[in-house]
């Protein structure tokens, strides 16, 4: 059935704007919420699920010569071992990341080369350890550095242009009186959601049911069905509870294909696969390392005349992913002469993918540290420098701004943080054994709206409504805020909404990614609710329903729609050990109307913590001899812990953005991480006079 497309009109907030408790909060904290490998699934004959365990490659490039499963099959409980010779064939092997067990080629260390099925998780794990995989190693290249050969991708992540050029930036840079010319790097960073990737799959001979930990049940169905040679209706993906994703669960990855293939070998018997934390470092995407060469040319008062941001990242030879690090430089500041470029190095490594604010996060680290350096060279306060470079219209498109309030975020943040009291000179404040400094950075994230969303509204008994859309709540609060949006659109309290979501059998919902979930699903729910009221009035008989597809509401062609923010940080650097502490971190944001202050605050604080984590700790290391990610667990890949987070706060401007959504809201999932690492690095510079241009900002930099 194709639903009529309806473009909604703005709604008045009533439940929107209130701090409704999370609808699934009690289930989650009491353990009643069942995650992907906890669903009580039994097979057709009542037998319990089998457990799958992945066996992965130990060479970075080469081929599988032989898989000897005899010892594994002799182990108690082991049922079968799938390899590239015995696994079911996929209908399409063009996506080399997803072409699991289809041939003998090894494209990176940690690639799936066999899957063990056993009666228990323990026997599957032991069986996997007993599988002997003979591999032929071929010469590999896994080191990403300044000498890596690069190419220009056709486009970068998000579909943005690879390069842009306005005016003559090189000539303008050559004659600029105040300049910055520096290179900034960010390391490989790894999404580390609380719940690792996991799935339970059941093939009943006609239909595949997948309880998956994913950010998009419909996108997973849409990708897996054609790979498996099935109609979309033959695949059902459910994800009622997801323990975080940060982008790693935004696109299907190899483990989902592996568990589906495994299930198809045992019709009627469910198969559970829990990807280990260590396996996640190769199999579920990561943020590629980046190198940004930033050149700024300004007048003596700090006004930019020219900017160049030339960004390089690395990708896997088996599948391209081009981190769009220079894209935010296209919208941040006015400069008549400007160029941005992206180049990519292809290596024999795991496939990089989305990690919270891909592009914006590493790109704005580079850009906002460069702006701090420019402020110093021009003798202009860093907040004033940004205000002076405020563009009248979007420099990228020439469109008027929808709702650019960066200056107000900067001013509000400066006031609340006590910025005015800051000494101008770096290395000016000592408190006992600690150098003390403050720093700031701006942040931005585009308003993204995904087409194709469809919602169904049905009247129920007692004045209640059923609202259905295949959206998913990965811990953000989507389940709660969508009920609030539906309630306001239907003119009822949120308690009267029964929300059905996270099931691919429901009307189409797009991915919980690009900070576009609430924006896109919410717009569809409002469209369907308004059409429902037009069809059935405000006192409908129980059992009537309306399904509507979301027309494009957001004025993306007429206006530049972006969120903005300002991050302020106090850093302390130990004079003798170089230890860095961050006693204060504040973000002030313009993100449109906030639908639920409680869950929004969690999103923004979570983003700030993740930015702090990137600033100080996160650092993925690859062994050049083997391509192995040696920092493949949370003991060696450090993320910020409770003790690292001190005074932390986020606030937002009161506003409503009616050019973006009928709710007045924009996305909030990612902007909190953007600019945060730059604010921390800039604060450590102000504390010590030592400029760190390479993340993470570790103690050794100050010794
Ligand atoms: Mo986010 S990296 O788009 O899930």
Closest CA to 585 of 598, 604, 599: 604
Distance, CA 690 to ligand 1 centroid (Å)?
33
Pocket flag, ligand 1, residue 513 (CB < 6 Å): yes
Residue 475 gets the label, from left (phi > 0), alpha (psi -120 to 50) or beta, of: left
Q: What single DSSP character describes residue 26?
A: H
In a domain, 38, yes or no: no
For residue 52, the surrounding DSSP H or E stretch is strand 50-56
Give φ, ψ of 262 to 5 degrees.
-60, -45
Same domain, 566 and 615: yes
Distance, CA 666 to ligand 1 centroid (Å)?
15
What confidence tier does 2 reach under pLDDT thresholds 50, 70, 90? confident
Atom of ligand 1 lying closest to residue 514 CA:
3
Instruction: Using most ligand atoms within 8 A of CB, pick from 197, 247, 471 the residue to mutate for ligand 1.
Output: 247
Pocket flag, ligand 1, residue 514 (CB < 6 Å): yes
Pocket flag, ligand 1, residue 356 (CB < 6 Å): yes
Distance, CA 308 to ligand 1 centroid (Å)?
26
In a domain, 222, yes or no: yes
At 636-652, the pLDDT tens digits run: 999 999 999 999 999 99
Same domain, 243 and 372: no
Q: Which residues are bridge partners to 341 per DSSP? A: 310
Which pLDDT does position 140 carry in this prediction?
A: 98
In this structure, the number of other CB atoms found within 10 A of the CB of residue 511 comes to 24
Distance, CA 553 to ligand 1 centroid (Å)?
22
Pocket flag, ligand 1, residue 247 (CB < 6 Å): yes
Handedness of CA 383, 292, 342, 304 (dihedral sign): positive
Same domain, 176 and 244: no
Helices (H), strands (E): how many in the chain?
A: 14, 25
Pocket flag, ligand 1, residue 17 (CB < 6 Å): no
Of the three residues 255, 283, 311, the one that is the final residue of a domain is 283
In a domain, 278, yes or no: yes
Tokens linked to 101: 């067990």
Same domain, 406 and 457: no
In a domain, 39, yes or no: no
Pocket flag, ligand 1, residue 565 (CB < 6 Å): no
SS3 703: coil
SS3 126: helix
Residue 563: CATH number of its domain: 3.30.365.10
Give residues with Cβ within 8 angstroms of 428, minimum separation 6.
none
Instruction: Identify whether the C-beta of residue 443 lies closer than 8 Å to the C-beta of residue 676.
Output: yes
At 649-674, the pLDDT tens digits run: 999 999 999 999 999 999 999 999 99
Closest CA to 51 of 258, 342, 319, 361: 258
For residues 84, 86, 91, 97, the Cα torsion angle rounded to the nearest 10 degrees is -30
In a domain, 41, yes or no: no
The residue to which tokens 């005015």 are assigned: 420
Task: In whole angstroms, give the CA distance from residue 235 to residue 229.
Answer: 11
Is pLDDT of 1 > 60? no
Burial 287-316 (b: 16+ CB within 10 A, else e): bbbbbbbbbbbbeeebbbbbbbbbbbbbbb
Give the domain extent around 520: 4-33+451-550
Give residues with Cβ within 8 angstroms of 548, minimum separation 6.
3, 4, 5, 6, 454, 455, 524, 527, 528, 531, 532
* Structural domains counted in the chain: 3
Instruction: Tell me how far CA of residue 188 lies from CA of 39, 362, 364, 522, 676, in angstroms.
Output: 33, 10, 16, 34, 17
Residue 561 gets the label, from left (phi > 0), alpha (psi -120 to 50) or beta, of: beta
Kindly state the average pLDDT of the residues 168-191.
98
Same domain, 610 and 540: no
Pocket flag, ligand 1, residue 355 (CB < 6 Å): yes
What confidence tier does 45 reach under pLDDT thresholds 50, 70, 90? confident
Distance, CA 360 to ligand 1 centroid (Å)?
11
Same domain, 543 and 583: no
Pocket flag, ligand 1, residue 287 (CB < 6 Å): no
Q: Which of 141, 373, 570, 670 is flagged as catalytic?
A: 670
Atom of ligand 1 lying closest to residue 515 CA:
3
Task: In whole angstroms, give the CA distance from residue 360 to residue 323.
Answer: 9
Same domain, 235 and 342: no
Distance, CA 669 to ligand 1 centroid (Å)?
8
Atom of ligand 1 lying closest to residue 355 CA:
2
Average pLDDT over the chain, rounded to an integer: 97
At 283-300, the pLDDT tens digits run: 999 999 999 999 999 999
Pocket flag, ligand 1, residue 250 (CB < 6 Å): yes
Task: In whole angstroms, give the CA distance from residue 117 to residue 493.
Answer: 48
Packing angle, helices 217-228 and 254-264, rounded to 10: 50
Instruction: Tell me how far CA of residue 368 lies from CA of 304, 334, 445, 557, 571, in angstroms.
Output: 14, 14, 14, 28, 17
Atom of ligand 1 lying closest to residue 670 CA:
1
Same domain, 596 and 695: yes
For residue 676, the surrounding DSSP H or E stretch is helix 676-688
pTM: 0.98
Tokens linked to 57: 């490659």
Same domain, 652 and 636: yes
Kindly state the average pLDDT of the residues 21-25.
96
Same domain, 522 and 578: no
At 453-498, the pLDDT tens digits run: 999 999 999 999 999 999 999 999 999 999 999 999 999 999 999 9
In this structure, the number of other CB atoms found within 10 A of the CB of residue 644 comes to 16
SS3 613: helix
For residue 410, the surrounding DSSP H or E stretch is helix 406-417
Atom of ligand 1 lying closest to residue 511 CA:
4
Distance, CA 86 to ligand 1 centroid (Å)?
35
Percentage of residues of the chain with pLDDT beyond 70: 100
Q: Tell me the DSSP string of 449-475.
A: --TT-EEEEEE-GGG-EEEE-----SS
Task: In whole angstroms, give the CA distance from residue 677 to residue 483.
Answer: 34
Distance, CA 320 to ligand 1 centroid (Å)?
17
In a domain, 43, yes or no: no
In a domain, 45, yes or no: no
At 188-225, the pLDDT tens digits run: 999 999 999 999 999 999 999 999 999 999 999 999 99
Is pLDDT of 616 > 60? yes
Instruction: Using most ligand atoms within 8 A of CB, pick from 160, 250, 353, 361 the residue to mutate for ligand 1.
Output: 250
Tokens linked to 153: 């991708």
Pocket flag, ligand 1, residue 358 (CB < 6 Å): yes
Same domain, 172 and 299: yes
Pocket flag, ligand 1, residue 193 (CB < 6 Å): no
Tokens linked to 622: 């690859």
Pocket flag, ligand 1, residue 286 (CB < 6 Å): no
For the chain, the C-alpha Rg in angstroms (whole number) is 26
Tokens linked to 138: 């071929």
Atom of ligand 1 lying closest to residue 516 CA:
3
Please give the biggest Cα pair distance in the chain: 79
Atom of ligand 1 lying closest to residue 358 CA:
2
Q: Which residues are bridge partners to 648 per DSSP? A: 585
Percentage of residues of the chain with pLDDT beyond 90: 99
Of the three residues 252, 267, 283, the one that is the final residue of a domain is 283
In a domain, 127, yes or no: yes
Atom of ligand 1 lying closest to residue 249 CA:
4
Pocket flag, ligand 1, residue 702 (CB < 6 Å): no
Nearest residue (CA) to ligand 1, atom 4: 247
Same domain, 78 and 89: yes
Task: In whole angstroms, give the CA distance from residue 587 to residue 673.
Answer: 10
In this structure, the number of other CB atoms found within 10 A of the CB of residue 43 comes to 18
What confidence tier does 433 reach under pLDDT thresholds 50, 70, 90? very high
Task: In whole angstroms, give the CA distance from residue 238 to residue 248.
Answer: 17
At 384-406, the pLDDT tens digits run: 999 999 999 999 999 999 999 99
Tokens linked to 654: 């009161």
- Does residue 5 have an active-site annotation? no
Distance, CA 245 to ligand 1 centroid (Å)?
8
What confidence tier does 44 reach under pLDDT thresholds 50, 70, 90? confident
Distance, CA 529 to ligand 1 centroid (Å)?
28
Of the three residues 229, 261, 283, the one that is the final residue of a domain is 283
């Amino acid at each position: 059935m194709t639903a009529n497309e309806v473009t909604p009109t703005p709604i008045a907030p009533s439940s929107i704007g209130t701090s409704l408790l999370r609808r699934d909060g009690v289930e989650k904290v009491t353990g009643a919420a069942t995650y992907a490998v906890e669903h009580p699934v039994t097979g057709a004959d009542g037998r319990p699920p089998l457990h799958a365990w992945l066996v992965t490659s130990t060479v970075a490039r080469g081929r599988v010569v032989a898989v000897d499963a005899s010892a594994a099959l002799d182990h108690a409980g082991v049922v079968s071992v799938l390899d590239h010779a015995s696994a079911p064939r996929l209908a399409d092997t063009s996506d080399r990341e997803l072409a699991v067990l289809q041939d003998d080629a090894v494209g990176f260390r940690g690639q799936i080369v066999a899957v063990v099925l056993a009666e228990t998780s323990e026997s599957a794990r032991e069986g996997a350890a007993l599988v002997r995989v003979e591999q032929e190693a071929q010469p590999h290249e896994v080191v990403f550095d300044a000498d890596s050969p690069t190419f220009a991708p056709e486009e970068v992540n998000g579909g943005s242009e690879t390069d842009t050029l306005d005016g003559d930036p090189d000539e303008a840079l050559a004659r600029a009186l105040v300049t910055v010319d520096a290179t900034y790097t960010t390391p490989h960073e790894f999404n580390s959601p609380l719940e690792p990737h996991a799935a339970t799959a059941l093939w009943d001979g006609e239909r595949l049911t997948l309880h998956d930990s994913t950010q998009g049940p419909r996108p997973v169905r849409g990708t897996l069905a054609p790979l498996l040679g099935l109609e979309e209706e033959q695949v059902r993906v459910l994800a009622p509870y997801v323990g975080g994703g940060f982008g790693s669960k935004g696109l299907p990855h190899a483990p989902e294909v592996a568990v589906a293939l495994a299930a198809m070998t045992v019709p009627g018997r469910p198969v559970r696969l829990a990807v280990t934390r260590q396996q996640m470092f190769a199999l579920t995407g990561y943020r590629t390392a980046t190198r940004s060469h930033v050149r700024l040319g300004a007048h003596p008062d700090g006004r930019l005349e020219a900017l160049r941001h030339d960004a390089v990242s690395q990708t896997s030879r088996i599948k391209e992913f081009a981190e769009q690090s220079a894209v935010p430089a296209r919208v941040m500041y006015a400069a008549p002469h400007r160029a941005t470029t992206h180049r990519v190095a292809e290596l024999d490594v795991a496939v990089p993918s989305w990690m919270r604010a891909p592009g914006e996060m590493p790109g704005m680290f580079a850009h906002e540290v460069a702006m701090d350096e420019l402020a110093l060279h021009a003798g202009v306060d860093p907040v004033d420098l940004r205000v002076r470079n405020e563009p009248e219209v979007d420099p990228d498109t020439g469109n008027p701004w929808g709702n650019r309030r960066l200056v107000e975020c900067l001013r509000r943040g400066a006031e609340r943080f006590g910025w005015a009291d800051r000494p101008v000179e770096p290395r000016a404040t000592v408190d006992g054994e600690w150098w003390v400094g403050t720093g700031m950075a701006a942040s931005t994230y585009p308003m993204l709206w995904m087409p194709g969303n469809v919602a169904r509204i049905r009247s129920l008994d007692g004045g209640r409504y059923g609202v259905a859309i295949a959206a998913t709540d990965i811990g953000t609060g989507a389940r709660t805020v969508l009920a609030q949006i539906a309630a306001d659109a239907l003119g009822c309290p949120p308690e009267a909404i029964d929300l059905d979501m996270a099931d691919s059998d429901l009307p189409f919902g797009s991915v919980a990614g690009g900070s576009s979930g609430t924006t896109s699903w919410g717009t569809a729910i409002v469209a369907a609710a308004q059409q429902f009221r037009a069809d059935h009035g405000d006192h409908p008989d129980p059992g009537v329903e309306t399904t509507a597809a979301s027309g494009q509401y957001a004025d993306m062609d007429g206006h530049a729609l972006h969120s903005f923010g300002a991050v302020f940080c106090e850093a302390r650097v130990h004079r003798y050990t170089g230890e860095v502490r961050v006693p204060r971190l504040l973000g002030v944001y313009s993100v449109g109307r906030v639908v639920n202050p409680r869950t929004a605050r969690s999103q923004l604080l979570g983003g700030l913590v993740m930015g702090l984590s990137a600033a100080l700790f996160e650092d993925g290391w690859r062994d050049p001899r083997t391509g192995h990610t040696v920092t493949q667990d949370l003991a060696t890949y450090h993320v910020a812990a409770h003790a690292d987070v001190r005074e932390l706060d986020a606030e937002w401007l009161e506003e409503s953005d009616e050019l973006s959504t009928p709710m007045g809201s924009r996305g909030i999932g990612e902007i909190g991480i953007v600019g945060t690492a730059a604010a921390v690095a800039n604060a450590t510079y102000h504390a010590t006079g030592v400029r760190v241009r390479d993340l993470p900002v570790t103690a050794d930099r100050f010794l």
